[in-house]
Structure 1
Amino acid sequence: MDEKKLTTLAAELAKGLKTDADLNAFSRMLTKLTVETALNAELTEHLGHVKNAPKLGYGYSSKTLLCDDGEVELNTPRDRENTFEPQLIKKNQTHITQMDSQILSLYAKGMTTREIVATFKEMYDADVSPTLISKVTDAVKEQVTEWQNRPLDALYPIVYLDCIVVKVRQGGSVINKAVFLALGINTEGQKELLGMWLAENEGAKFWLSVLTELKNWGLQDILIACVDGLKGFPDAINSVYPQTHIQLCIIHRVRNSLKYVSWKDYKAVTSGLKTVYLAKQR
């Protein structure tokens, strides 16, 4: 259907829409008709490729589908021998929304399963089961485990080792926690997150365990490790990667440079250091 026909159809359909509720109801009806028509077309094509298809017959089964505008009751077609596997809406599929990403976003913000259920009820007036939420989050956990166990490249020219503070759910409450990161620059010049770790305290001993893990995952050599000024950090790195050059981040270099500068010279020295650290050639 071309744009002109769509515009004419939209103008005709819009005559009966007065409120948001009208629009949502219409959207659900349109979704129902479109999906059911597409599923029937899929079945027709399927039966056309099956020997003795006219003898198979078919019927319908009811299914509740959750879409962006709420719940839609579908009549999904089926063949007598149960050989039809729809692709548009698969047999066990219960939603056609961005629900997975929304669930994960709410979960990542520290919301409990019960709170997520209540949020979807408020947003869509739809009942989302705790089981569905668990399936979505469990699937992501499996992907995370697979990512954690992947082999790393043998060489990363540059690796940044640092931490960020994020909110995490723990023991039924949301708290701030440090997430320690290893960010690598590979031989193609691309950034790659090598790993993430949660820990209560940062220390050289902790980073030693991180570096040991990285080596066990296949990372055999780091040319430059960019780190902060944590005491014992360089020794921890060189105990696992003896040939690695340690590069302190600029802010720590500036702090070290200003440690013995008198207050009256502070501004001038700071300005001079800025020129040095922003220079293209050092």
Structure 2
Amino acid sequence: MDDLVQAMGGTGISKSQVSRLCEEIDERVDAFLTRPIEGEWPYLWIDATYLKVRQGGRIVSAAVTIAVGVNTDGRREVLGVSIGASEAEPFWTEFLRDLVRRGLGGVKLVISDAHEGIRAATARVLSTT
């Protein structure tokens, strides 16, 4: 991190400064991921991609999911992001339930790659296909 700061023209950064910055970033990310979802969101795009992540000292493949909604005013917004072991139905179901708990409503159309887990979860949680 110190090399990065110096490359950007800074004079260096201590380990405690890095820790404070990471803590602040974590708080902001958590606030973003748990914020209330207000209004109607008739269109919802959901998908996942796989990335390599470090878990318990090992490098493993993890599904990173994202939900992007379009509200009734036509505004597009990232509504949720999550990381899981796979795109299985239980993971998608919990991801969508979390969005609903935060206020997601009015979904009329879900756009996805028709993964079986997505199809089953959207039918169960959002009553859409």
Q: Which category describes the TM-score, using the shorter chain as reference length?
A: 0.7 to 0.9
The equivalent residue for 2:106 is 221
Gaps of 5+ in 1: 1-115, 247-282
- Higher RCO (C-alpha under 8 Å, 6+ residues apart): 2
- Which whole-Å CA distance do the structure 1 matches of 2:46 and 2:115 have between them? 11
The equivalent residue for 1:66 is none
Say yes or no: does 1:152 pair with 2:60.
Answer: no
Say yes or no: does 1:237 pair with 2:101.
Answer: no
- Residue pair 1:164, 1:180 contacting (<8 A) in 2 also: yes
- Residue pair 1:164, 1:179 contacting (<8 A) in 2 also: yes
- Residue pair 1:181, 1:195 contacting (<8 A) in 2 also: yes
Structure 2 residue corresponding to 1:205, chosen from 90, 112, 118: 90
Higher mean C-alpha displacement, 122-131 vs 157-166: 122-131
CA 225–122 in structure 1, closer or farther in 2 if over 3 Å, else same: closer
- Which whole-Å CA distance do the structure 1 matches of 2:117 and 2:68 have between them? 20
Structure 2 residue corresponding to 1:177, chosen from 55, 62, 65: 62
Which protein is richer in strand relative to its size? Answer: 2
- Which whole-Å CA distance do the structure 1 matches of 2:11 and 2:47 have between them? 42
- Could you say what secondary structure the match of 1:222 adopts? coil
The one-letter code matched in structure 2 to 1:223 is K
**What percent identity do the matched residue pairs reach?**
29
Structure number with greater Rg is 1
TM-score by length of 1: 0.41
- Residue pair 1:152, 1:194 contacting (<8 A) in 2 also: yes
Which protein is richer in helix relative to its size? Answer: 1
The one-letter code matched in structure 2 to 1:178 is A
Gaps of 5+ in 2: none
The equivalent residue for 2:78 is 193
Matched residue count: 129
